[in-house]
Structures are given as structure tokens and as C-alpha cells.
Amino acid sequence: MPKLLLCLLYILALPLQASNQERSDWATEFAAQNAVGTIVVLDERAPNQPAWVHNPERAAQRFSPASTFKIPHTLMALDAGAVRDEFEVFPWDGVEHSYAGHNQDQTLRTAMRNSTVWVYRGFASNIGEPRARAYLQLLDYGNADPSVTQGDYWIDGKLAISAQEQIRFLQQLYRNKLPFKIEHQRLVKDLMIVEAQRNWILRAKTGWEGRYGWWVGWVEWPEGPVFFALNIDTPNRMDDLHKREDITRAILRNIQALPTPSPQQP
């Protein structure tokens, strides 16, 4: 099928997203963590629910996706044959990295969980920039620009995406509507599982560029999914990283999209 037709079909498959509604009350959660940033939440458990947003101007601003790009990057690698399946092992070359989880053999599952950059650097080399650009354009992923002078294009290059665009991409993945094999989309969603209980599943991915960090994903409920995309500034670098999940979880609990943790038993 011609690429243009594929793109048109993909665009037509996009669900209609209701207009945004600013949530000024969510500023409290950011202030509690002394954080500056944005979050977009789209709760599809209720029909025609508008997307809620804190800091709408920033929600429309594009940033490097950092390791949240591992979600589409995994799909690209599977489609291009850069990885066979979740069982293929990528041997560690012995080069020491600052994070201990990177200093070992990897599979897709551990590479996603540990955000193992060297595995995805190998995927990027295998795929090449021209093919990566074609994939990104087909996905309509942010500015779809994988060019870079030095480093990894999803961290150090020109590739950028907004929180609003992250939500749209996640909606398509949830519905298996991305232009990739359904079995590959299902595998990536399985790799994204962070936490699960009897009636809900949290699928998400962190990202950190150095100056700012992401947490994007969704919570699946029987009534429907609740999508979220947060990014915050991280002036204190690693000391700020916990704030990504802390703020998001607090907001999701506020709208009953995540249960309140039970008190610890003595």
C-alpha cells in the first residue's frame, strides 16, 4: 500500500479528542514538589470527557522525548528486524555505565525497564537515519526529525514532541492503531507494564534529558483508559526524578484513576 495512503488511513483512524480544560487546582501538586512543568490527562472512562491540563502553554511546547521514545523506537526496531522478539539477548560489551542495570546482558524487557541506552543506540545504528525519519513521519511523531550532530537523536538531537502529542500517540498504541503489526504493538504494551492489580493496569515510561523529565502512559480500567503525559524541569537533576511519578500519581489518585495506597501494617 502506498505510504501516502497509509498516512491518510492512520490520520482518519485518530480518535476525536475533546477540547482541553485547564485544571488550576493541580498547581498544588506541582508546588508541593517545588516543580515547574505540565501534565495532560485524558480520562476516557466517561464519554466526551475533555482533556484536563495543567500549564496548557507548556503542554503544547515540544521537548526531546528522551527515553519515552523507547516506546515507538521498540516498534521501529521490531518492524525493521533490529530485534527478533522479547527473548533475544543483547550481550553487554563490558563497558561500565553509571547505572548498574545497564552493565549486564539485556533483552527488550530489561532494556525497557532499565532504560538501557546502549541497546537502543544499536537499534538506531541498525535502522539508520533515513528509515528512522520515514517511520517518524509515518507516525506523525512530534516534529519527526531524527537529525543529530552528536549523541542520540531522541536525547541530544532535534527530535521533539509535546505532552499533547504524546497523548495522541498513546491513544493509538492503546487501540493498536499505529502503522505496525498488531502483535508488535501488543508486545510493547506488555513491556510497558509498571504495576497491576485485579481491575487495573498501569503502563508507562519515564524519560530524562537532563534538564527536564517525562512520565507518560495510561491506566487501564474496565470502564476505559486514563492517559497521562507529564514533563517537569529537573534543575536538581537526579534528585528531582522522583517528582515525575509523585506528581502524576497524586493527580491520578485525585481523579480516582489510581487507588490510594493502603496504610502500612505495623
Beta-bridged to residue 224, according to DSSP, are: 221
List of E strands, 26-100: 37-43, 51-54
For Cα atoms 229, 212, 206, give the angle at the middle one, nearest 5 degrees. Answer: 45
Q: Can you tell me whether residue 115 is helix, strand or coil?
A: coil
Q: Which residues of 170-186 are buried (b: 16+ CB within 10 A; e: fewer)?
A: bbbbbeebbbbeeebbe
The grid coordinates of residue 98 equal 553509571
Active-site residue (options: 19, 24, 64, 67): 67
Helix axes of 3-12 and 129-139: crossing angle, nearest 10 degrees? 40
- Determine the pLDDT at residue 91: 93
Look at the chain and count its residues: 266
- Identify the structural domains of the chain with CATH numbers, from first to last: 3-63+126-179+191-233+244-254 (3.40.710.10)
- Determine the pLDDT at residue 263: 63
| Residue entry with cell 492503531 | 177
Residues 6 or more apart whose Cβ sits within 8 Å of residue 53: 20, 21, 22, 23, 38, 39, 40, 41, 59, 163, 164
- 262 is annotated as an active-site residue: no
- What is the Cα–Cα distance from 78 to 185, expressed in whole angstroms? 10
| Residue entry with cell 538501557 | 116
Average pLDDT for the chain: 92
**Mean pLDDT across the stretch 224-235?**
98
Q: Which pTM was predicted? A: 0.90
Per-position DSSP letters for 142-158, written without gaps between them: TT-----SSS-TTTTSS
Is a pLDDT exceeding 70 seen at residue 8?
no
Quickly count: other Cβ atoms within 10 Å of residue 116's Cβ.
Answer: 25
Q: Confidence band (pLDDT; 50, 70, 90) for 17? A: very low
Helix (H) or strand (E) holding 10: helix 3-12
Q: Can you tell me whether residue 41 is helix, strand or coil?
A: strand
Q: What is the pLDDT of residues 136-149, one digit of tens each?
A: 999 999 999 999 99
Residues 6 or more apart whose Cβ sits within 8 Å of residue 49: 18, 42, 43
Q: What is the pLDDT of residues 61-74, one digit of tens each?
A: 999 999 999 999 99
The grid coordinates of residue 131 equal 528509515
Q: What is the pLDDT of residues 110-139, one digit of tens each?
A: 999 999 999 999 999 999 999 999 999 999
